[in-house]
Amino acid sequence: MECFLVISLAIWSMLLMHVSTYNSSREPLCSRMFVFGDSLVDSGNNNKLHSIAKANYMPYGIDFLGDHPSPTGRFSNGKTVIDFLGDMLGIPLLPPFADITEQNIDISRGVNFASASSEILDETGGDMVIMF
């Protein structure tokens, strides 16, 4: 576990150092991003899922864009780590996968598949999200 943590921190540090030297007049470092994860990076997918893990009420989103904050489904008061990383890379906010069909969203710039209470094992999180 300690080895994984050290390697993860080293990779993130190198990525952030590379991004911090980025000149905004050049082309973006990458043109798209596809995100998989849990509540730390969920951008609103759980709003459309049968789940008790929801962030579609205040105070979630209280510091999100604009003068009239509203809950976005993000499990934070504003942007998530992925939103900030996208800003640094020159990528607009990623739409949640659950919104792409009803809003006819083009996913060529990326999409966020993350869902709070997501699980890998059958034994974890099953009481939070109804499986597909």
Distance CA 128, CA 52 (A): 6
State the pLDDT at residue 132: 47
Q: What is the pLDDT of residue 72?
A: 84
| Domain-located, residue 119 | yes
Q: How far, in Å, CA of 39 to CA of 32, rounded?
A: 21
Residue 12 has pLDDT above 50, yes or no: yes
| Average pLDDT for the chain | 79
| Two tokens, residue 86 | 């996208």
> Domain limits at 122?
31-132
**Closest residue by Cα to residue 110 from 31, 54, 55, 47:** 31
Domain membership flag for residue 16: no
Identify which of 48, 106, 113, 115 has the alpha carbon closest to the alpha carbon of residue 75.
Answer: 115
Q: Rounded to whole angstroms, how far apart are CA atoms 81 and 89?
A: 12
Q: Where are the beta strands (DSSP E) in the chain?
A: 33-35, 110-112
Q: Please report whether residue 103 resides in a domain.
A: yes
pLDDT at 104 over 60: yes
- How many structural domains are present in the chain? 1
The verdict on residue 4 lying in a domain is: no
What integer pLDDT is reported at residue 36 of this predicted model?
A: 92
Percentage of the chain modeled with pLDDT above 90: 8
Write the CA distances from 62 to 42, 72, 74, integer angstroms.
16, 9, 11
Model confidence over 45-94: pLDDT tens digits? Answer: 888 887 888 888 888 888 887 777 788 888 888 899 999 998 888 888 88
Instruction: Name the pLDDT band for 22 (thresholds 50, 70, 90).
Output: low
